[in-house]
Structure 1
Amino acid sequence: MARVPLWRRMAPLRWHYLFIAPGVLFFVVFAYVPLLGNVVAFQDYSPFRGIDGSPFVGWANFAAIFTDPEVGRALTNTLVLSALQIVFAFPAPIILALLLNSLLSVRLQRFVQSVVYLPHFISWVVVVAIWQEVLGGAGMVNDLLGAIGVGPTSIMTNPDWFPQLVTAQVIWKEIGWGTIIFFAALSTIPNELYESAAIDGAGAMRRIWHVTLPGMLGVIVLLLILRLGTVLTVGFEQLLLQQNAVGRDAAQVLDTFVYFRGVLGGGWGLAAAAGLFKGVVGTIVVLGANWLAKRLGTRGLF
């Protein structure tokens, strides 16, 4: 039997391909074509000489990364902040979705959800300013502490509290937006399962544990794998805005290192090597997490 040509197989679905073409073109132009620029990581690159005129230095930029103490400090800060966000910020929308789902009043549920996801649309400049007004040296918290005779403290400028502060800001800003996805997962769980569990004598917590969470498991695993892929990305703008307040030792991460060393310092090759290192690590983590998820019996990402 003769093989049907590819164009003949695509012809019946031509309108489908036409609709997805802009999305494919977007990723090709803005995601895949820029990957060719990673050659800068292997050059002593200068924007004045261009890629063709910049000398090839091999692995020298990567060797410089792993021997630079500033990179070690930035990597440590990145991993600490990422771990805190995975442990505390990632489950926060799940918990909120479960709490809101338990409300009997749909109107109250929608009101609370609308209120908590509004901060997602606020820029980090405004978010940091709001937190400064509350927790800064002249903020509302210090005014209350002064009123009760307790000495003033500025959490916004304390390097020891900075990891917890960044995590709290991420939770406050993104928790409501994350609940949208988990509410969609909750809507796919049949009510018959809850009714059967209630007939069998399962209380509210047992229904959550044996019905709700297993029904959400696929979405949770999917989002967790995607989050692990960005383990070396913790929020450039948020940290850059607060770096002067707490110092580089506390707020320098890989993203801000790339900015200061590459864009401002002119170390384009070193910064590109750091970015390529991030991408390789993220890919390895995603593949490993997906493999582990499948071994544990879930569908994984792909």
Structure 2
Amino acid sequence: MKIEQKLQLGEVLRLKLEAGKQTRTSKWKRILQNYELYLFLLPTIVYFIVFHYIPMQGVIIAFKDFVPTLGINGSPWVGLEHFERFFNSFQFAKLMENTITLSLLQLLFGFPLPIILALMLNQLAQERYKRFIQTVIYAPHFISVVVLAGMIFVFFSNKGLANSIIVLLGGDPINFMAKAEWFQPLYIGSGLWQETGWAAIIYLAALAGVSPEVHEAAIMDGANKWHRILHVDIPAILPIAVILLVLSVGNIMNIGFEKAFLLQTPLNAPSAEIIPTYVYKTGLQQAQYSFAAAVGLFNAVINLVLLWLVNRTAKRISGNGLW
């Protein structure tokens, strides 16, 4: 009996090995048959390998006292010294507060607005007006961050457009760029103006894929516009919304460095200093390469943990996720 069981087990293993070989062979056959598609992917793959994966070996300087003349391998090992220095610094709590608050506010206002805008545009019956509105709201996306920061300084300076309107209405001028409490509203508001229209494109594309027959059937059943939005349009964009939410939360600590740095002034620094600007100043301006690498690595680890947690939660709740 034991001999028969062993023979059966051997036969099962042999069949599994043959099936695995056939699967690998069929995969290579499909790749060879569609090699043109993989050639299109090649530049992107090379880009990520050269500029994202190979430089990752440099993260080791976060655990060393990096000296340029000695190189990465020759620099002395210090372990977690730079991380402890950052955690014990007087700036740690304020940097975390500013970064998390700004990121959460941007997520709170910046994530639902494109969805609402896409749902509203999808209800427009006149294609001419719809295209005109789309062109107007897409245009700010193509303004560079430097130009946008310059516009903010011009509009919100002591004699800018905003203060001119305030004075015209009988109020006192406000020095927006010199007050720390105004940095976050200006940062979030300018981001919404610039990116909401562009972010709505992906939702409009998903809504365009909804069959008109579904809406016609809903109308026949007595559904009004609100019912169709709630039961047809929103379920159509829900999988995409979940994936984008996971990506947004996973990138929550990597809030835009350029605009935050350009909008900083000595007077609004208490609320404008965030981790990315701090890494730039300590790493490049003060040449503390190892310390800046440690802070950046800490930031990246938080993003990775948040990405994993949110993706797992979203997959359990809605069944949709990145993996």
Distance (whole Å) between structure 1 residues aligned to residue 191 and residue 57 of structure 2: 33
- Please name the residue that 1:279 is paired with: 300
Partner residue, 1:116 = 137
1:71/1:254 contact within 8 Å kept: no
Question: 1:66 corresponds to which letter in structure 2?
Answer: F
Distance 2:209 2:28 in 1: 37
Letter in 2 for 1:69: F
Q: Distance in 1 between matches of 2:100 and 2:311?
A: 20
Size of the alignment, in residue pairs? 302
CA–CA separation in structure 2 for the residues paired with 1:247 and 1:260 = 16
C-alpha contact 1:71 1:257 (8 A) present in aligned 2: no
Partner Cα separation in structure 2 for residue 175 and residue 100 of structure 1: 13
Equivalent AA in structure 2 for residue 289 of structure 1: V
Q: Which residue number corresponds to residue 162 of structure 2?
A: 141
Residue 142 of structure 1 aligns with an amino acid whose one-letter code is N
CA contact under 8 A between 2:282 and 2:289: conserved in structure 1? yes
> Quick one: which of 85, 95, 106 aligns to 1:85?
106
Given residue 89 of structure 1, which amino acid in structure 2 is its aligned partner? G
Find the counterpart in structure 2 of residue 205 from structure 1.
226
Find the partner of 2:194 among 173, 177, 181. 173
| Larger deviation, residues 2-11 vs 136-145 | 2-11
Does residue 301 (structure 1) correspond to residue 317 (structure 2)? The answer is no
Alignment of 1:233-272 (within 5 A): 233-244=254-265, 246-272=267-293
SS at match of 2:125: coil
Of the structure 1 ranges 13-22 and 225-234, higher mean CA displacement relative to structure 2 is found in 13-22
Equivalents in 1 of 2:137, 2:163: separation in Å? Answer: 25
**Root-mean-square deviation (CA), in Å?**
1.7
Rg (Cα) greater in structure: 2
Kept in 1, the 8 Å contact 2:110–2:192? The answer is yes
Amino acid at match of 2:115: I
Structure 1 residue corresponding to 2:204, chosen from 161, 168, 183: 183
Q: Could you state the TM-score of these two structures normalised by the residue count of structure 1?
A: 0.95
State the partner residue of 1:24: 45
TM-score normalised by the chain length of structure 2 = 0.89
Conservation of the 8 A alpha-carbon contact between 1:44 and 1:54: yes
User: Which consecutive unaligned segments of at least 5 residues does structure 2 have?
Assistant: 1-14
Q: SS at 2:34's partner residue? A: helix
* Worse overlay, 103-112 or 2-11: 2-11
Could you tell me how far apart the structure 1 residues matched to 2:117 and 2:37 are? 37
Q: Which amino acid aligns with 1:155?
A: F
Distance in 1 (CA, whole Å) between partners of 2:154 and 2:146 is 13
CA distance in 1, matches of 2:181, 2:40: 51
User: CA separation in 2, counterparts of 1:297 and 1:80?
Assistant: 27
**Alpha-carbon separation, structure 1, partners of 2:79 and 2:154:** 49
Report which stretch shifted further, 2-11 or 291-300. 2-11
Q: Which runs of 5+ in 1 are unaligned?
A: none
